Amino acid sequence: MIKIANSFFLVLCGFCIGSACHAETEKWQLVKEEAGIKIYKYNSADAEIVKAKGTVRIKSPISAVEKIINDIEYRHKWIPYLERSQLIQRKSEVESVEYSLFSAPWPVSDRDFLYSLERIEDQAMSKVYRMKSVSSQRMPEIKSAIRAELYESVYTITEIEDGNTQVELSFHADLKGWIPNWISNVIQRAVPYKTLFNLRNELNKRNNP
């Protein structure tokens, strides 16, 4: 009887998880496909600021992609509008607190983020990094920038055939300040595209010096 109950429970969980995944997939809507990069937005009736993600295939092994993502001093070379990033606290082998400052054209104020970076999956062929805003006395707010809030940003890198790597980046943030939500939503969709475009270019340069 216990075995039957356990089997039923597992089937029910599988059905619920499958249904949830299907519903999640249905809410992602393709809004742009250009230069081999696909951009999606997440449809949610109760969210004023959209969540966006992008996907791209890069001709590099997963180790090369992981290396460039983890190189904090080099990120300003490929992440758009990033002036600098720095390590604030190393909490463990898989989690750290970092700071990033982004420049903005006049008259918009610069934005900065204080966030945790955590490696939540570490398989040979798949790595997942999650970032979200945190507070810390080690990096108080500065007058020259508005402290934005990163709800969540996730890098998912998966090695596929012939040494290629699939990179997915989701981005969901509130830029704060006086920027209207519709402008924030334009930026939300632009960030994954520009980031993945630049990341691929940087890796291509390294592979073909």
Per-domain boundaries in the chain? 30-207
3-class SS string, 141-184: CCCCEEECEEEEEEEEEEECHHHCEEEEEEEEEECCCCCCHHHH
Dist. CA 62–CA 127, nearest whole Å: 8
Dist. CA 59–CA 5, nearest whole Å: 48
Domain 30-207: which CATH number of 3.40.50.720, 3.40.50.300, 1.20.1250.20, 3.30.530.20: 3.30.530.20
Structure token digits, residue 74 = 């080099």
The phi and psi torsions of 155 (rounded to 5 degrees) equal -100, 125
Give me the tens of pLDDT residue by residue for the chain, a chain 209 residues long. Answer: 444 444 433 333 443 434 444 445 558 999 999 999 999 999 776 778 999 999 999 999 999 999 999 999 999 999 999 999 999 999 999 999 999 999 988 788 999 999 999 999 999 999 999 999 999 999 999 999 999 999 999 999 999 988 899 999 999 999 999 888 889 899 999 999 999 999 999 999 988 76
Dihedral of CA atoms 63, 69, 72, 75 in degrees, nearest 10, equals 130
